[in-house]
Structure 1
Amino acid sequence: MSAATVAVRTEQGNQTWAYALVLAASGVALGVSGAPAPLYGLYQQAWHFSPLTTTFVFAVYAIAALGAVLVSGRISDVVGRKPVLLGAFGIMIAGLVVFLLADNVAMLLLARALHGAAVGATVVAGAAALLDLRPKHGARSGQLSGVAFNVGMAVAILGSALLAQYAPHPMRTPYVAITIVCLIIAAGVLALREPHTARVSGRIRIAKPAVPQEIRGDFWFSALGVMAAWSVLGVLLSLYPSLASAETGIHNLVFGGAVVASTALAGALAQAFATGIPARRAAITGDIGMAIALVLTIPALHTGNWVLVLAAGFTLGATFGLGFGGSLRHLSNVVPQHKRGETMSAYYLLAYSAMALPTVVAGWAATTWGLSTVFPWFVVVVALACLAAAGIGLRKREPAVLD
């Protein structure tokens, strides 16, 4: 072992909290991304815009996040993880300030674009920092990141709904609370020693998406699964709380927040306890389960029973966690190390596209025919995509894990 490596490890060992801090930063970032979800109904009422506008606001986030995902990995390799994380949290706080001042849709679009860029950069740089801090625990770090994402989203969404419902200034107070949390995390990052000492040189460029020929079947199995899962996530965060409130007659913001939060929490639990299940099997089970859970949301909504609506959301979240977590683990197992950057770029390109485009289409259709009419059709299409992903997976054997 070289003297430099020993020095790095000694330095990192003095900051035993660094790993937990990076996980917390990732969770808070995803929490920021989900916090506006319970408030979209308030914005619609106050500014009289349509479901299509809501989905455009959400899609802007996904597009900005995709751009950040494609460049921030390379940036963090060149300048370090800490500067990227600090910049991301600076942009995140700027977006929260825009939300605080927002009085029109244009400002919502700007705030969501800022948050998309910040969250995308945090996810990529955070994942790299976790590998720097614990290089031999990549699979465990990926699992804990998924749990942190979902827990952060669940806490932020439910907290945002509670503050909007019961605190003064409902379209302002949630963002003040989240800004304080972000400032605390940013202070921690400022105290963090740079975990990435083996810098690389060269131009900062966009990662070129590509898929190695030898893993194309495995890639499409994973990609279809994540596309189906993230298209559900897009509608869930933008339109579903309003639909659940309309169908149950419960217009308390906490209920809409609880529907989404319970789904995110179930996803976290599924990813936390699924490590013993082989990745391909978990993904196939999740894909099939997600198709079934999606279909079950239709009768659950039609009953108007809030308990059944919450239960359907929890079931959907659990299968989402299995499908998304299993798909990502499966792809990580089969992708050649020297092709990881371009393969993951292709993976996230499809994932964020699936989050943005179907959400906008659903918003347009909901504006034309009504959300309650459109939602069952959306469910059927996404359920078929889930089953297609499962079908591809069933035709292949579990791969050997690549080092």
Structure 2
Amino acid sequence: MAATVVVAADKPTAQPWAYALVLVASGVALGVSGAPAPLYGIYQQQWHISALTTTIVFAAYAFAALGAVLVTGRISDIVGRKPVLLVAFATMVAGLIVFVLADSVLMLLLARALHGVAVGSTVVAGAAALLDLRPHRGARSGQLSGVAFNVGLAVAVLGSSLLAQYAPHPLRTPYVVITVVCLAIGAGVLALREPHATRAAGRIRIAKPAVPHEIRGDFWFSAIGVMAAWSVLGVLLSLYPSLAAQQTGIHNLVFGGAVVASTALSGAVAQLFATGVPARRAAIIGDTGMALALLLTVPALATHNWIAVLAAGVALGATFGLGFGGSLRHLSEVVPHHKRGETMSAYYLLAYSAMALPAILAGWAATTWGLNTVFPWFVGLVALACLSAAGLGLLRNRELVRPAA
């Protein structure tokens, strides 16, 4: 029987470094999620696997992360943030060990699934811990989390590509190094005092996705924007480095890593400096810009010039940062507090589905017709989704202004 008692815990003593540690932990988790991106080309060459198999391996992460997102929030409310973060980092290390030992696609799928669970848990419990530590700075914490995600992704992808290119055992050394980093962060979490001062007793249940009727228009504006953005992210992490190498003739892994890293870093910078831009306006600008930046990647790749390819990636990252960051900020501003859990569950359900399913579809199409043939069609479809999100935002603006006219 579910209980409704709230159990008070001792008030945690202030630890000045706790907030920064949780931010770094979140960034490292997202870095782990992107670390295999530069290595997929090696797996394809050495293991003779197709683009479809590569994207299925990537999608295993997204689906596992979705499952973790739906249950971890309630678990951390009951047992606390620290235990969830500790288990998440232990799972992360387990996934890295599986990667080190991997000799089959099945082991890659297991490693990615473990990382999906670990990263999804870290994102949710970390966000809650940041609110516990600084309850009156929710918007700032959300912004810094987005920056940490992008910086962690950039550092991990670039570091992974450098190690794979120049260190021995390219399919093992990057994971060993990242394991050491995760163990260090885990030791920090072990020293962390539980930030969640009160814990609710009750059953652990899956958060039921639902959208309050009064914010349905705002929700779909944010949701379509994040679906478009994360579908780009899925293909960027699973297929784009190989495509950039093919088109430029540069097969050094550091170049593929630099393409992803520059995109992620420009996204971090855009989110960091967009604080003064109203959330809806930032999302509309980002969605529109993302559509244009996506379309520009096609001629950039056609030039076979590495500078053009990098520049297109930077433009795509900056607009991605505006679109994703603005969409998330806007939804956070309008969602009723008492319906935040079910609304964010619906939001992440769509976001992770958009990350996984288009990547699988693109992988299947690339295996059938070739990535060079498929990529422009994919870009066109996602650009239409971005423009649809921007259009919804403009229509919603008119609806809000009309009564005052």
Specify the alignment match of 1:185 in structure 2: 185
Instruction: State the one-letter code of the partner of 2:171.
Output: M
Q: CA separation in 1, counterparts of 2:270 and 2:43?
A: 33
Specify the alignment match of 1:336 in structure 2: 336
Specify the alignment match of 1:155 in structure 2: 155
2:52·2:367 contact (CA, 8 Å) conserved in 1? yes
Flag as ranges the 4+ runs of structure 1 deviating above 3 A.
Answer: 4-7
Specify the alignment match of 2:261 in structure 1: 261
Q: CA separation in 2, counterparts of 1:90 and 1:243?
A: 34
1:12·1:133 contact (CA, 8 Å) conserved in 2? no
Q: CA separation in 2, counterparts of 1:259 and 1:53?
A: 22
Specify the alignment match of 1:390 in structure 2: 390
TM-score under structure 1 normalisation? 0.96
Specify the alignment match of 1:361 in structure 2: 361
Specify the alignment match of 2:142 in structure 1: 142
1:165·1:254 contact (CA, 8 Å) conserved in 2? yes
SS of equivalent to 1:199: strand
Specify the alignment match of 1:40 in structure 2: 40
2:295·2:380 contact (CA, 8 Å) conserved in 1? yes
1:221·1:389 contact (CA, 8 Å) conserved in 2? yes
Specify the alignment match of 1:103 in structure 2: 103
Specify the alignment match of 2:204 in structure 1: 204
2:271·2:321 contact (CA, 8 Å) conserved in 1? yes
Instruction: State the one-letter code of the partner of 1:243.
Output: L
Instruction: State the one-letter code of the partner of 1:346.
Output: A
Specify the alignment match of 1:307 in structure 2: 307
Q: CA separation in 1, counterparts of 2:41 and 2:13?
A: 45
CA offset at residue 12 of structure 1? Answer: 3.6
Specify the alignment match of 1:87 in structure 2: 87
CA offset at residue 5 of structure 1? Answer: 10
2:236·2:260 contact (CA, 8 Å) conserved in 1? yes
1:288·1:390 contact (CA, 8 Å) conserved in 2? yes
Instruction: State the one-letter code of the partner of 1:44.
Output: Q
Q: Does 1:240 align with 2:240?
A: yes
CA offset at residue 17 of structure 1? Answer: 0.2
Listed one character per residue, the Cα deviations across residues 378-402 of structure 1 (whole Å, up to 9, x for unaligned) are 0000000000000000012398xxx
TM-score under structure 2 normalisation? 0.96
How many residues were matched structurally? 394
Q: Does 1:128 align with 2:115?
A: no
CA offset at residue 197 of structure 1? Answer: 1.6
Q: CA separation in 2, counterparts of 1:285 and 1:383?
A: 13
Q: Does 1:26 align with 2:26?
A: yes
Instruction: State the one-letter code of the partner of 1:156.
Output: A
Flag the 1:99–1:361 CA change in 2: closer, same or farther, 3 A: same
Specify the alignment match of 1:168 in structure 2: 168
Listed one character per residue, the Cα deviations across residues 194-246 of structure 1 (whole Å, up to 9, x for unaligned) are 00021001100000000000000000000000000000000000000000000
Q: CA separation in 1, counterparts of 2:210 and 2:20?
A: 33
Q: CA separation in 2, counterparts of 1:318 and 1:238?
A: 20
Listed one character per residue, the Cα deviations across residues 132-174 of structure 1 (whole Å, up to 9, x for unaligned) are 0000000000000000000000000000000000001111100
Listed one character per residue, the Cα deviations across residues 309-356 of structure 1 (whole Å, up to 9, x for unaligned) are 000000000000000000000000000000000000000000000000
2:64·2:116 contact (CA, 8 Å) conserved in 1? yes
Instruction: State the one-letter code of the partner of 2:49.
Output: F
Q: Quote the RMSD (CA, aligned, Å).
A: 1.4
CA offset at residue 93 of structure 1? Answer: 0.1
CA offset at residue 7 of structure 1? Answer: 7.0
Instruction: State the one-letter code of the partner of 2:201.
Output: S
2:9·2:199 contact (CA, 8 Å) conserved in 1? no
SS of equivalent to 2:199: coil
1:18·1:192 contact (CA, 8 Å) conserved in 2? yes
Q: CA separation in 2, counterparts of 1:71 and 1:37?
A: 27
Instruction: State the one-letter code of the partner of 1:69.
Output: V
Specify the alignment match of 1:215 in structure 2: 215
2:279·2:329 contact (CA, 8 Å) conserved in 1? yes
CA offset at residue 6 of structure 1? Answer: 12
Instruction: State the one-letter code of the partner of 1:176.
Output: V
Q: What's the % identity of the aligned pairs?
A: 80
Listed one character per residue, the Cα deviations across residues 51-74 of structure 1 (whole Å, up to 9, x for unaligned) are 000000000000000000000000
Structure-to-structure mapping, 1:9-24, within 5 angstroms: 11-13=12-14, 15-24=15-24
CA offset at residue 306 of structure 1? Answer: 0.0
2:10·2:197 contact (CA, 8 Å) conserved in 1? no
Flag the 1:308–1:195 CA change in 2: closer, same or farther, 3 A: same
Q: CA separation in 2, counterparts of 1:6 and 1:128?
A: 16
Flag the 1:81–1:308 CA change in 2: closer, same or farther, 3 A: same
Q: CA separation in 1, counterparts of 2:28 and 2:394?
A: 36
SS of equivalent to 1:250: coil
Structure-to-structure mapping, 1:270-289, within 5 angstroms: 270-289=270-289
Residue ranges of structure 2 left out of the alignment (5+ in a row): 1-6, 401-405
Q: CA separation in 1, counterparts of 2:317 and 2:8?
A: 41
Specify the alignment match of 2:116 in structure 1: 116
SS of equivalent to 1:276: coil
Flag the 1:308–1:77 CA change in 2: closer, same or farther, 3 A: same
Instruction: State the one-letter code of the partner of 1:297.
Output: T
